Chains A and B, each alone.
Chain A
């Protein structure tokens, strides 16, 4: 048993940490949320140059063959900087999926471009009725001679407005909520019949509603086996939960530390408010929630990498804890900052908003507690 990072991992951590301190100051970040894409292409190119975009992609596909621990290190630092660049969406959710399940041609077509920072991807799995159930798929794909014809609707597709290609889950057989009968397709954003409504999300990121009307794609766009897409999708979401939990842990660390610092300087009744025991205990609880999340994060990430039999249960336990802690730490950071905590000007509110969406993304605490119970 070893809870330390190896030399290479420590190096990556320092590198990301430095990038955030040097190139990701709050003002620059806030100016990015006003741009169309909501992120910086320059930063994205830096990610590519530093090899981050290929960190978790296999050597064969032009990446660096890293583990979930490597992704975790990166995402935790991104969480601290509240990084807007869609690493989770493009690399973790999509590129890794193609790397694991795609055809040789798809890998060649997509992964080199991802690693080099040339394209953006988005995973379209949720539908208006599906809530957090990945198997609840009404979007249909029908095989007609050598083409698939796709019809349906995908909701809240994260990074949708920036995506050059989508991975779309669609039903090729079975009933609405059957796990079997789901297939995954790699679909060009420009394909005819695919329309999107783009918008900003509350955490200042970007998302889309996708409508598919008789979208015709060649058979070669099928990722993995016909009807067997659920397992592939489910595994991608597991990796994504680990990644987004690491981001949450990074954000929680900044929030509890920022709050502690604030209460040392904010004076009321002639004394720093951090001297009041009721606030001290609250901050101790915030700190403990953060530590507990970090413990589950390390545990679940290692179990996942070791392909342990209870890895899925560990991941649901983690997401449950992250959901609860995100809410508690986010809300209390605002509360302890008083009125300042609810202003748009202060960074606290922005961390709070991201932790709020993370609580829901890939399933909220209720969903994962239920799943944990069933596993």
Chain B
């Protein structure tokens, strides 16, 4: 056991730093540093830059990514340096979610059609899982796909579909069969969003932003060959995917950056003769958060290390989901606390940045972020469901 980096690791770190110094676009950096949302083009451009360097699909086998696989330590270094530079978080739906399903369960035709397009960020994916009546109880989903010749006819509705307004394709869980055990009639289906009969309706969230949507399917015709894996095996694929989603959900490296930013900003927030960082109550919360964050980081590293020596991400991923999202929410709360009254002026997403800020220049996005991040303990399997998973799968209760 040791925690130190080898000379090769340190060289790799320098390579990442050098790469970012010369390749991180100024306009994207500016919006990231001001905590303003990126547009579609900026997201895609950044992903293409990373992809060209071979640092985009780092969790893919090299036969699909076309790049040498990084070691666990290298991935750790890459993530941390990217986070320190405050580069955009990658959109997980294609590279982190759909692609692992395709390269693990898909046909050669599906691999050839979709993997290069995901690798190159030419196709934007979204996720069709939750339905109005099926949230935590995902397996109760009702969106139907009825076979008609070489096609499925899809009818139903998906909800909380993140960024569906930009998406070219959606991967869906659909019911291909009514079976006594509800999990057994579910299949994993890829649908082109341009197909006739699909309608996307925005859902506005408490922070005033348009991030999620409802997606309606009205007699949407989808070729049978767009099923991934076996018909009726969708639930197993969904579980596989959820485990991938949950393990990435902690976002540790980003949290480390946010925590040091909080420390920095609270050290320049005046309270009487001193600063907010000198206030014992606030300081204690920062330090407690740091300890909890460090514990979560090393829990993640232990998990990843066991995966890289042959294990698979199991229910341990649920620990990371719970702890990671709790930390994300705690930090968003502390930022709000830091601002005091200046957390209250409010501008909708599209007005942010077009106004001179009220209060400190970083103030504008902090309250919307806090409000928006109430979602993280709900999505990807609510934290209550995650605790059920741990209690059942690990504790055997």
User: For residue B388, which residue of chain A has the nearest CB?
Assistant: A278
CB–CB A342/B344 < 8 A: no
Contact in complex: A339, B372 (CB < 8 Å): no
- Chain B at the A interface: SS class: mixed
Distance of A276 Cα from B203 Cα, bound (Å): 28
Complex CA–CA separation, A207 to B271 (angstroms): 22
Contact flag A369-B281 (CB < 8 Å), given A342-B205, A342-B374 = yes
Q: Give the segment of B65-73, B114-122, B334-342 that binds chain A.
A: B334-342
A370 located at the interface, meaning its Cβ lies under 8 Å from any Cβ of chain B in the complex: yes
Q: Is A331 positioned at the interface, with any CB of B under 8 Å from its CB?
A: yes
Q: How many A-B residue pairs have CB under 8 A?
A: 131
Q: Name the residue among A279, A349, A356 with the largest chain B CB count within 10 angstroms.
A: A356
Known: A128-B359, A155-B359, A177-B272. A201 touches B346 (CB 8 A): yes
* Cross-chain contact of B270 among A129, A199, A339 (Cβ < 8 A): A129
Q: Is the CB of B367 within 8 A of A209?
A: no
Please state if A338 and B336 are interface contacts (CB–CB under 8 Å).
no
Q: Which stretch from A5-13, A131-139, A303-311 is at the chain B interface?
A: A131-139
Interface hit among B42-50, B134-142, B163-171, B251-259: B134-142
Bound complex: CA A197 to CA B160 (Å) = 36
User: By the criterion CB–CB under 8 Å, are A353 and B279 in contact?
Assistant: no
| Tally of contact residues, B, Cβ under 8 A | 48
Asked if A279 and B346 make an inter-chain contact with CB atoms under 8 angstroms apart, the answer reads: no
Determine if A343 and B203 form an interchain contact, defined as CB atoms under 8 angstroms apart. yes
Question: With A268-B136, A342-B372, A353-B371 as given contacts, are A209 and B344 in contact (CB-CB < 8 Å)?
Answer: no
Q: Does B336 contact A356, Cβ atoms closer than 8 Å?
A: yes
Alpha-carbon distance between A278 and B341 when the two chains are bound, in angstroms: 35
The A-contacting residues of B in range 337-361, CB under 8 angstroms, are: 337, 340-347, 358-359
**Chain B residue with Cβ nearest A366:** B281
Contact A155 B374, CB 8 Å, known A278-B387, A343-B205, A353-B206: no
Q: Are A268 and B378 in contact (CB under 8 A)?
A: no
* Residue contact A207 to B137, C-beta cutoff 8 Å: no
B136 adjacent to A197 (CB under 8 Å): no
Contact partner, A345, options B204, B343, B347, B378, Cβ 8 Å: B204
- Do A200 and B346 form a contact, CB below 8 Å, given A156-B341, A279-B384, A342-B206? yes
Answer yes or no: A203 CB below 8 A from chain B CBs: yes
Known A155-B342, A342-B372; contact A202-B337, beta-carbon cutoff 8 A: no
Contact A364 B337 (CB under 8 A): yes
Contact present for A341 and B374 (CB under 8 Å): yes
B318 at the interface (CB under 8 A from A): no
From 269 to 328 in chain B, residues with beta carbon under 8 angstroms from any chain A beta carbon are 269-273, 279, 281-282
Contact between chains at A202 and B371 (CB < 8 Å): yes
Docked complex Cα distance between A201 and B364 (Å): 11
- Cβ-based interface call for A357 (8 A): yes
Q: Are A339 and B137 in contact (CB under 8 A)?
A: no
**Residues of B366-382 whose CB lies within 8 A of A:** 367, 370-372, 374-375, 377-379, 382
In the complex, which residues of chain A have a beta carbon less than 8 angstroms from the beta carbon of B272? 131, 133, 136, 177
Interface residue? A2 (CB, 8 A): no
Residues of A within 8 A of B282 (CB): 366
Q: What 5 A-B pairs come out closest when comparing CB atoms?
A: A349-B206, A268-B137, A202-B346, A156-B341, A366-B281
A and B contact pairs by CB, cutoff 8 A, 9 listed: A126-B341, A131-B270, A269-B136, A338-B378, A342-B206, A342-B378, A349-B371, A360-B336, A361-B341
Instruction: Give chain B's interface residues, CB within 8 Å of chain A.
Output: 130, 133-137, 140, 159-160, 203-206, 208, 212, 269-273, 279, 281-282, 333, 336-337, 340-347, 358-359, 367, 370-372, 374-375, 377-379, 382, 384, 387
Given contacts A334-B378, A339-B160, A339-B379, 5 further A-B contacts (CB under 8 A): A155-B342, A202-B367, A338-B136, A360-B337, A366-B279
